Structure 1
Amino acid sequence: MSERTALSERPALSEQTALSEKTALSEKNAMNQPAETPMPSATVEMEVPFHDVDMMEVAWHGHYVRYLEIARCKLLDMLDYNYPQMRESGYAWPVIDLRLRYAGPARFGQRIAVTARLREWENRLKLDYVIRDVESGKRLTRGHSVQVAVGLADGEMLLASPPALSERLAAWQASQSQTSQSQTSPSQADPSQTADEDAPATPPPTRGTP
């Protein structure tokens, strides 16, 4: 490769590197949250009841929405911002978008695990869901829901989530970070209490009159 060719390729490589760095930065700054910031998730297990299935013993597709609701309420309880707290803060949070994709059926008597994970919160409340078979771990259903804050007094939709949500999420994240640090931080041993493996053993003190 000639020096001229190498020089001509440098701008393209620089642009590609810059694009990769920009993409990585955008992903890290998604929702203005650092990549290491914990986001809450909750899982509930349940057994598909008889009254939820059709004549083929398969859960009717509409009941899956209720399964998601149960997991969502557990997650909101973790933040201390379930529907009663929403109402007390002056906001309703109606669902404006709900999507489900069925990969496999849930059947009568089957134990399933429903996981809800907070995905977005700054301008809307978006949760992702996965339903799996407890025994095999096979994914049965995935989906997401989107809710927005609406003032109870004026019925106006907010373009940004209110502090009632963001402050609770920040408090939960802080508590999780403290818990994680306390579990992973190495204990600081007292140097005076640390035994030197190479040092000779110290004989035990003798008692009585020398």
Structure 2
Amino acid sequence: MDAAPNCAICNAPPYPECPCESERLMVAVKQAEHRAMDARLDEIRDWVISHARQHILNAFERLGASRKQAHATYLNSLPNYAVYMQYSGHPPIHPIYITQLQQQISEAHAELKRGIDADWRASVLRYPEVLDYFYSLVSLRLPDEHSPRVAEPPFAAAGYVDRGYDHSRLGKEKKKKRRESSVAPNGMREVLAQRLRGPPPVPTPPVQAGGFSRPPGPYYH
């Protein structure tokens, strides 16, 4: 006799293998992952994004600081620039020089803007590399196969009785067993005490008037 069970979902015979159980298992796995991992994954994701974004901003600011310093150095090297700034754009020099200087300043500003945009683009495009790095710092480990919590989970300790895997219920069952074990010895001690005391005493019949006299002895007073 073949003891292989039928499909637990549709009750189809075991051969050929029915896909129902595998499909339902994957559904159950996804539901279990949702219950066990979603909150943890949200926490990890927020941590990674926060650190990656801060790194990208820091890198961009360093690039920008170097570029702005080079821009300022170039402007200060232009002829008549110091006088131009001293007189707030209206220096006492020939208009031809002023026009030429203004054109050079405008081109320098445009080049600075192009450089800043390029630096920002280069920084943002590094997100995949930076995200991979910070995700690699997160430690996820499986428990030891010889751990008692793996080898003897709560439902195994309960003898795989079909009571579900509710830890609170298992705790109540253990408390109930402890109460029963504490009550049983007390009842047993009472039974043993009754046996040691022997049967209850038989009452003495009343003495009628004119009846027999009590013989002398230590038990008659």
Please identify which structure carries the higher helix content: 2
Which is higher, the Rg of structure 1 or of structure 2? Answer: 2
Please identify which structure carries the higher strand content: 1
Determine if the TM-score, normalized by the shorter chain, exceeds 0.5. Answer: no
Q: Identify the TM-score tier after normalising by the shorter chain.
A: under 0.3
Greater relative CO (CA pairs within 8 A, separation 6+)? 1
